[in-house]
């Protein structure tokens, strides 16, 4: 025979909390070995957010700061850019060039996949490493401009 007992609501929460402490924890991402595909997927999203954020910040600044006398025109920004030192220019250009290069080449990679090519595990990794190599080369190329 099974018996039950009436428990007040205040102690029911503490009983439930103690039972939850004994419950096994479900496996999480830590049980999986990180893969190149994870990192490339996350980086694509991050670079997309970063590039669009830069675009939106400039656009919002151009619209809302102009009435306050802040000149956000391309001519003014180009003039100020020319006055900056090389180290500052490289510090600003490097992350933007890397984000642009990576996002561009990974977009090309996805277009290749859309044609039905390189959809094997080996092909996915080959194109992933290709994206990394082309990103490095294009970042260096953009830095010397």
Q: What is the mean pLDDT of the chain?
A: 93
Provide the pLDDT confidence category of residue 21 given band limits of 50, 70 and 90.
confident
pLDDT above 90 for 126: yes
Q: Which pLDDT does position 7 carry in this prediction?
A: 79
Q: What is the pTM of this model?
A: 0.77
Q: Which pLDDT does position 2 carry in this prediction?
A: 84
Of the options 1.10.1060.10, 1.20.1300.10, 3.30.70.920, 2.40.50.100, the CATH number for the domain spanning 35-143:
1.20.1300.10
Q: Which pLDDT does position 30 carry in this prediction?
A: 76
Q: What average pLDDT score do residues 106-132 get?
A: 98
110 is in an annotated binding site: no
What's the Cα-to-Cα distance from 15 to each of 11, 18, 24, rounded to whole Å? 6, 5, 17
């Amino acid at each position: 025979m099974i018996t039950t007992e009436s428990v007040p609501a205040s102690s029911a929460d503490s009983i439930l909390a103690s039972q939850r402490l004994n419950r096994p924890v479900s496996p999480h991402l830590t049980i999986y070995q990180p893969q190149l595909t994870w990192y490339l997927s996350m980086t694509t999203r991050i670079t997309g957010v970063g590039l669009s954020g830069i675009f939106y910040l400039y656009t919002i600044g151009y619209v809302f700061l102009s009435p306050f006398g802040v000149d956000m025109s391309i001519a003014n920004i180009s003039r100020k850019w020319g006055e900056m030192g090389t180290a500052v220019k490289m510090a600003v250009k490097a992350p933007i060039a890397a984000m642009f290069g990576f996002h561009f080449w990974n977009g090309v990679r996805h277009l290749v996949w859309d044609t039905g090519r390189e959809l094997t595990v080996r092909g996915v990794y080959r194109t992933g490493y290709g994206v990394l190599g082309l990103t490095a080369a294009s970042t260096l190329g953009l830095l010397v401009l």
